[in-house]
Structure 1
Amino acid sequence: MRTVSPPDTWAYALRLPHDPRAARVARMTVRAALSSHGRHELVDDVELLASELVTNAYRHAGGPCSLRLTALGDGRVRVGVWDNHPYVPVLFTDAEANGRRTVPPDAPGGRGLRLVREYAETWGAWSLGDVLPGRPGTGKLLWFEVGATNPA
């Protein structure tokens, strides 16, 4: 039996350990995957935004994370980052939050999710369940899409 899929679709999945080098590995993977599929125009944006989500997972989840890079049939590329913490950041749940919280100019962090909201064409999050006593939670998934042929 043969599997049939649209010609311009593909997917890569990468499991990343809780390691400060995870964001670098994610950037290298994104660059290699997009370049090998001729999507050079998306490399810089996707590399930056995926790195921000992986860094966020490393800093706040305390466990491994997974990166999934998927080319959709209409020219879009979707990036999802799963981690084991169920808390979805306010910037991904509240449409009005983007303009409320300001980060001091000398702060070492706190801008990554704003970058995703600003530069991705669409973005979102799903909480996949709370951590229960004695059982690991299933975490959350943050995702974004770029590369629409006619962005809104």
Structure 2
Amino acid sequence: MTVHGLIRLVDVAELLATELVSNAVRHTKGPAGLRVRWSPPGTLRIGAWDADPQPPEPPRPLAGDTESEDGRGLALVRACADVWGWQPLFRQGSPGKYVWCELSAA
């Protein structure tokens, strides 16, 4: 990211990548992966794929239950990213999904 002049996005990008991959690993029974793509002139896309074709649970509000140690991942993604979403994915003939978010460098 430094090569592309995106040093100011590193902390947020690391948080988002961690949340997406953590969800993929924690909530599925199979392989998971991460993809980070820079699209000039200014969009960083971070996405995680997993082997579960079911859509992710909708993000819960960040306020409220402060005692729970889980359930805030996609709420953080929603709060920190410019846009996020998911799509069904077939990888090597197996169904799954791709959950992604984007950060603008502008």
2:98 alignment counterpart:
141
TM-score (norm 2): 0.85
Partner SS state of residue 82, structure 1? strand
More strand by percentage: 2
Structure 2: runs of 5+ lacking an equivalent: none
Tell me, yes or no, if the aligned pair for 1:69 and 1:78 is still in contact at 8 Å: yes
TM-score (norm 1): 0.61
Larger Rg: 1
2:25 alignment counterpart:
58
Structure 1: runs of 5+ lacking an equivalent: 1-33, 92-96, 130-135
Q: Tell me: higher relative CO, structure 1 or 2? Use CA pairs within 8 A at least 6 residues apart.
A: 2
Query: How many positions carry a matched residue from both structures?
Result: 104
Partner SS state of residue 51, structure 1? helix
Tell me, yes or no, if the aligned pair for 1:66 and 1:83 is still in contact at 8 Å: yes
Give the Cα separation in 1 of the matches to 2:49 and 2:39: 19
Deviation at 1:148, TM superposition (A): 4.1
Give the Cα separation in 1 of the matches to 2:15 and 2:73: 9
1:118 alignment counterpart:
79
More helix by percentage: 1
- Distance change (3 Å), C-alpha of 1:137 and 1:103: farther
Tell me, yes or no, if the aligned pair for 1:70 and 1:77 is still in contact at 8 Å: yes
Cα RMSD of the aligned pairs, angstroms, is: 2.1
